[in-house]
Amino acid sequence: MMRLLWLDVRAALRERKTWIAAAMLVYAVLAVPLILARPPEHVREAIAAFFHDDDPFVVFMFVWIDLVMNKIVGFLPVVLASSVLLRERDTGVLAVLAAKPLPLSRYFVIRTASACAVMLTLYVASQLFAAVWFSWQVAGFRPGVFLAAMSLHVFAAVFATAFAATVAVAVGRRGASALISLVVLGLLVGMALIGFYQPAWSTVVLANPLTLGAQSLGHLGALGPAVLLPPMLALTVLTLVTIAVGARLAHRVEA
């Protein structure tokens, strides 16, 4: 099983969609310093009011996590995972697999784990590149705090990938499943930081996985295990449960 997963990850990393995703991430890293060169004053004031801090690094992290990475996490997982099992069915491969001693549920787990691994690889590589680039381009940049914050957010990216794969087998249609995943993830992205804007909602919105992934924004001055580990654990559990649900639904994708 592990060898099949490794081979699938290697194949996925060579696919055109993966290279397009990588190019989008590189573009985001290169473009953000230009966007932040002269941010509108009312944007700075609003962010300072939301986070009770006018530190330029806080402004930068808000822009990077909410306006850049959350939007990417709402889109790239759909590109990478919304065809899990469906592509095999549409190309006739699923009929061959059905004759093998490999249950569709296990094959779904392998393919989803592969998509999550590709997302993880792209995400980690882009954040390491960003840490180097921003150190040169962003005044007051703190690479250690940046990497700590993004180490939490990557768990949200992996969850979103597992979610897109599970929606694919639940719906059974490539176009419809991609659209549903985009809509749902888009709604989660839109509500991710409501707890910062409206403190009365701060507890309720923790049910949103993307809110969990952005919890570091409220603790940039004191990031540590007490801040990072609980949401990391919660997102890991959500991801595993989502994959388990998808495995149970894999039989819906008929050859």
> Tell me: the pLDDT tens digits for 198-250?
777 878 888 999 999 999 988 888 888 999 999 999 999 999 999 999 999 98
Burial code of 133-170, b = ≥16 C-beta within 10 A, e = fewer?
A: bbeebbeebbeebbebbbebbbbbbbbbbbbbbbbbbb
Examine the pLDDT at 73 and tell me if it is beyond 60: yes
Q: Are 193 and 214 contacting, i.e. CB atoms less than 8 angstroms apart? A: yes
**Averaged confidence pLDDT in the chain:** 87
Residue type, position 59, single letter:
V
> Tell me: the pLDDT tens digits for 24-52?
999 999 988 877 766 566 566 666 666 66
Examine the pLDDT at 127 and tell me if it is beyond 70: yes
Question: What is the phi/psi pair of residue 203, to 5°?
Answer: -80, -40
Q: Cα torsion at 26, 130, 227, 66 (round to 10°)?
A: -50
> Tell me: the pLDDT tens digits for 161-195?
999 999 999 998 888 999 999 999 999 998 888 88
Helix or strand holding residue 199 (H, E): none
DSSP 10-27: HHHHTSHHHHHHHHHHHH
Q: What's the distance, Cα to Cα, between the start and end of the chain in Å? A: 22
Q: Residue ranges of the alpha helices (H) in the chain?
A: 2-13, 16-35, 41-51, 56-62, 70-73, 76-81, 86-90, 93-98, 104-137, 143-171, 174-190, 194-197, 209-213, 225-249
Quick one: which of 82, 87, 108 has its CA closest to 21? 82
Cα–Cα distance, 104 to 247 (Å, whole number): 8
Q: For residue 60, name the pLDDT band (cuts at 50, 70, 90).
A: confident
